[in-house]
Structure 1
């Protein structure tokens, strides 16, 4: 039995509450399946750390994380203490870039037991594959002048390699699902990068004749997420478009507190990183009511990444069963605490495994 080494960064706010709950679930899973084992190294890197040390993580932080099998992140950010652009670029985006986590994967699914805000959700189940290393989130640009002539320039950077990686990942994923890929574009308004994106995606699509591919302008695609989300399977999108679409995906599920994500490194040199979509929610931190499902579903994605399909499926089944039973935190209209929801998921996993 090989023990998976997990680097744990609870982060800020509710991250410090939901990460320990998710680790309890993982330990319960390891007891249910004898071939599953984890070890943890926990790092206290967050905005409070920044106030003490002037940086979000130590100089050797990346080297400490590098030998782990995966990074399990809570939530980073507390704008009351540190500006968001400082906290995110100081740790989250730093890890993504330095560890070449070039793909971001975020599922959206109509879970049992949760009422979607959509009138007709029709059992949607899709995954957004987001290019995670370049695009609109390039660091290239700057500001000049002041007063009425003040100007800011932000350059979007799209490379053939970056687009091909994202598109190939999306098509490979679609082969294991419903064999449909939707590509998010805006080539009718962004005249250089988006036609380039379209062309490279089409070239990749030609290698997958059994996978249906359609291209959608991002504004129309966003509206279709609301009016007909059940039609989508795998969506491939640029860094910014993917970021926006996945928050919308979380919203139509019923709460951003349940949405997971994975930052995927492709060739095994560095660990991948798994984090919920929700932020640190400082307004409810410390109240014991944060929804742990986003972090726990994120653990399910990490299990998928390790090839532990049986345990991953058991976990998601338990999550849905608990929600169907009405055990929910306040963001989903329930009255249960963070710990109560986690306890119920662990009990249900044990019941389902017997």
Structure 2
């Protein structure tokens, strides 16, 4: 029996609801396998925790999380807590503290899901973003001078290191080899305006590409990239992008794949020195929390990504095939997909499909 210890941070709002369904699916996969067992420990960190304790997580939170094979995060965000606090004091603290320098976001339109673009189907929307996840524009370097005065100044400095940028680039090229789709990596830049950071980015991309002559390359400015994603998404395979550009473009990508209810994500430490963290990126949606309206598919897809990272390929494949199967019956999906089911009922439906397939 292979056993995995999973730290669970449901977070806020609908994060708690979708997390229940992700764990439900994991437990079902475990019982069907008979060879894999998951042990879960829950941590109530997040914005609601902050309102009670004045901090987003325990002081020794990272030390507690070190012992796990992976971390599952639901969503973070709550009225009354500024977004920069919720992001920097929990998400970024874990990403940076555990050297999770790769953010992996699949942008794939699944069969039976409507695409907002005309004449595009599941063969056309199939790309992956490799986003730098701990440096760049989100490094947190800067400050505010003369606060509250007429000559107040805000300074935000991006930080790009050669060591980290090279690792991100190489990960993207290796991922393109593994996917074996178009065998292409597209770099997102803005070197015409950002004459230090993005010129540096372009240089490292060119150097890295020379190590992978079998992989085709292209480089577009971020504004052009957003346009081409809408005009000709089928021409893309693997993107590599900085923290900010990757953050923005993947939300655009989620719309192409059917909405935020499909937006799964992984924060990866490839060397496995620390646990990696897996999270849907639809946000906590406090306006619909507690109503059973949240679409849990992004959480279930996130669970599938975790299984893939843990090298449980059979269970990972079962999860993905299960997601595709439940999408055939719209009546049993949540209202955002045209159905009438609750969050919990979709999870139950997924478990039923998995059992029927075995």
- TM-score in same-fold range (> 0.5): yes
Displacement after TM superposition at 1:266 (Å):
2.1
In the other structure, the counterpart of 1:26 is 26
Whole-angstrom CA distance in 2 between matches of 1:168 and 1:351: 40
1:352 aligns with 2:357: yes
2:159 is paired with a residue of what secondary structure? Answer: coil
Q: Shift of residue 333 of structure 1?
A: 2.4
Q: Which residue of 2 aligns with 1:171?
A: 173
Residue 274 of structure 2 is aligned to residue 275 of structure 1: no
Distance 1:89 1:189 in 2: 27
Report the 3-state secondary structure (helix = DSSP H, G, I; strand = E; otherwise coil) of the residue aligned with 1:59: coil
> Please, which moves more after superposition, 338-347 or 238-247?
338-347
Q: Which residue of 2 aligns with 1:116?
A: 115
Instruction: Provide the rounded CA distance (Å) in 2 between the counterparts of 1:147 and 1:44.
Output: 39
The answer for the alignment partner of 2:151 in structure 1 is 149
Shift of 1:6: 0.2
Q: Deviations over 1:66-114 (max 9, x none)?
A: 1100000000111x13111112211111111111111100001011121
The corresponding residue for 2:76 is: 76
Is residue 343 from structure 1 mapped to residue 348 from structure 2 by the alignment?
A: yes
CA–CA distance in 2 between the matches of 1:314 and 1:3?
Answer: 18
**In 1: Cα distance, 2:235 partner to 2:349 partner:** 33
Per the alignment, residue 210 of structure 1 pairs with: 214
Deviations 1:110-161 (A, max 9, x none): 1112101111324211110000011111211111234442221111111111
Shift of 1:283: 0.3
Q: Distance in 2 between matches of 1:343 and 1:113?
A: 20
Alignment-derived partner of residue 104 in structure 2 = 105
The superposition leaves residues 227-268 of structure 1 with CA deviations (integer Å, 9 ceiling, x where unpaired) of 111111110000000001111111111111211000001222
Give the 5 Å matches for 1:40-119.
40-78=40-78, 80-119=79-118
SS at match of 2:22: helix
Deviation at 1:317, TM superposition (A): 1.1
**Structure 1 segments (4+ residues) deviating >4 Å:** none
Relative to the length of structure 2, the TM-score reads 0.96
1:226 pairs with 2:230: yes
Q: Secondary structure at the match of 1:6?
A: strand
Structure 2 unaligned regions, length at least 5 = none
The 5 Å alignment of 1:220-299 reads: 220-299=224-303
Give distance in 1, aligned partners of 2:226 and 2:41: 39
- State the distance in 2 between where 1:189 and 1:102 align: 25
Q: Does 1:159 align with 2:164?
A: no
How many residues align structurally?
352
Q: What residue is the counterpart of 2:12 in the other structure?
A: 12
1:169-208 CA deviation, whole Å, 9 max, x = no partner?
A: 1011100112111110111121111111011011111111
Q: Is 1:140 equivalent to 2:141 in the alignment?
A: yes
Partner Cα separation in structure 1 for residue 209 and residue 347 of structure 2 = 42
Q: CA RMSD in A?
A: 1.1
Deviation at 1:168, TM superposition (A): 0.6
Q: Matches of 1:333 and 1:83 in 2, distance apart?
A: 33
For 1:201, the equivalent position in structure 2 comes to 205
Q: Give the Cα separation in 1 of the matches to 2:220 and 2:328.
A: 34
Distance (whole Å) between structure 2 residues aligned to residue 47 and residue 61 of structure 1: 15
Measured in 1, the distance between the counterparts of 2:315 and 2:120 equals 28
Query: Structure 1 length as normaliser, TM-score?
Result: 0.97
